[in-house]
Amino acid sequence: MAYLLRTLIILMIFGIGLTLGTAFHLFSFQFSHIQIAIPAFIYTIFAQAFVMFYFIGVSRLTNNVYLILKDQKNLNELFEDPPKDLAPYTKKVFQFVQESTRGKRQTIPWTMLILTLGTLGFLLGGAHDTGVVSKTTHIGVVYGFLAATIIGFFRQWHYLGRAHILLRKLKALFSIPDNSM
């Protein structure tokens, strides 16, 4: 799943780059940057929503496993034959909980900033097109969006890899097949 999400955010960067390149007349297409910005930003919303919910899901899964171990209820969901001493499992899963929470906290604020600045830039682009705001206002917000997107991209890339490895370790700890969640 992490590889799919990495592909989605690479395509997102490509769409944003194509929009900016067209706006600065680096590329010449039959479409204006406005016509490219509409599907590019809709796709950005799509990709960022997937990334955000992936990190929420990984954190939720590790928290659920930790609660099962801590409460010692429904242990048959994790083990065929539950061991007597759950301390090593609890300790390891607690580390997974901390790591998944860290990944969520390091990526979701950037996702929200990307979506907020992208929406403002998109709306201010329409406002500039109708003459309500100046071009510099629109460009300033778009530069902020671009900076947040670049920083967020690298954070998401890094933590997607870490979350992928974390899920593999969690599944290996309880002998869960890789293709199940």
How confident is the prediction along the chain (181 residues), in pLDDT tens digits per residue? 889 999 999 999 999 999 999 999 898 888 888 899 999 999 999 999 999 999 999 999 999 999 988 888 888 888 888 888 888 889 999 999 999 999 999 999 999 999 999 999 999 999 998 999 999 999 999 999 999 999 999 999 999 999 999 999 998 888 887 777 6
Give the global pTM: 0.88
Can you give the residue ranges of every domain in the chain?
2-173
Which amino acid does the sequence have at 96? F
Is residue 31 within 8 Å of 69, Cβ to Cβ? Answer: no
DSSP E strand stretches across 67-172: none
Q: 74: helix, coil or strand?
A: coil
